[in-house]
Structure 1
Amino acid sequence: MSNFMDKAKDLADKHDKQVDQGLERAGDMAGKRTGGKYDQHIDKGVNQAQTRTGEGDQVR
């Protein structure tokens, strides 16, 4: 399992911008599905996830 996690981390490091964009889209979809009720919490979670993935932070 650790080999899989290492490969996943390497992939996220190499494609940080795409990972961050995917997280942003997922957050937008979650916001739509909840009618905006939890936008503050969703945004916080997306931002935290974006800062923990990849070598560079692509957060807008």
Structure 2
Amino acid sequence: MGLLDNLKARIGPAKDKVSGFAQQHEDRIQHGLDKAAETVDKRTKGKYSDRIQSGTGKAKGAVDRFTHKDDAGPGGEGGTPPAGSPPPVS
């Protein structure tokens, strides 16, 4: 068993616990992200608003993927494909 296999085996249970915690408190996490984005935007006087919005959106997407990892079926959620994946071939 290699080093990465050992790490994966040890991190697995912790990842499940964190995922469960995030599922229970998803609304609070989302609210915290919004509040942090608002505070940073005020402190930078709106200079980086578009980047802050983009970063907040990406963070919310990551939280959503992390908390709903068990909800996806074999074909995914059926919504938009993950960023960076090639478009489907017709």
Task: Report the TM-score when normalising by structure 2.
Answer: 0.52
**Counterpart residue number, 2:19:** 9
Q: Does residue 20 of structure 1 match 2:30?
A: yes
Q: Larger RCO: Structure 1 or Structure 2 (Cα < 8 Å, ≥ 6 residues apart)?
A: 1
Question: Of the two, which has the highest radius of gyration?
Answer: 2
1:37-56 equivalent positions in 2, closer than 5 A:
37-53=47-63, 54-55=67-68
Distance 1:23 1:46 in 2: 7
Number of residue pairs aligned between Structure 1 and Structure 2: 54
Cα RMSD after superposing both structures: 1.7
> Is residue 29 of structure 1 aligned with residue 39 of structure 2?
yes
- Deviation digits for residues 5-52 of structure 1 (CA, Å, limit 9, x no counterpart): 543332112211111111000000010111110010001100111111
SS at match of 1:37: coil
Between Structure 1 and Structure 2, the one with more helix by share is: 1
Structure 1 runs (4+) deviating above 6 angstroms are none
Which SS does the other structure have where 2:27 is aligned?
Answer: helix
Unpaired stretches in structure 2, ≥5 consecutive residues: 1-9, 69-90
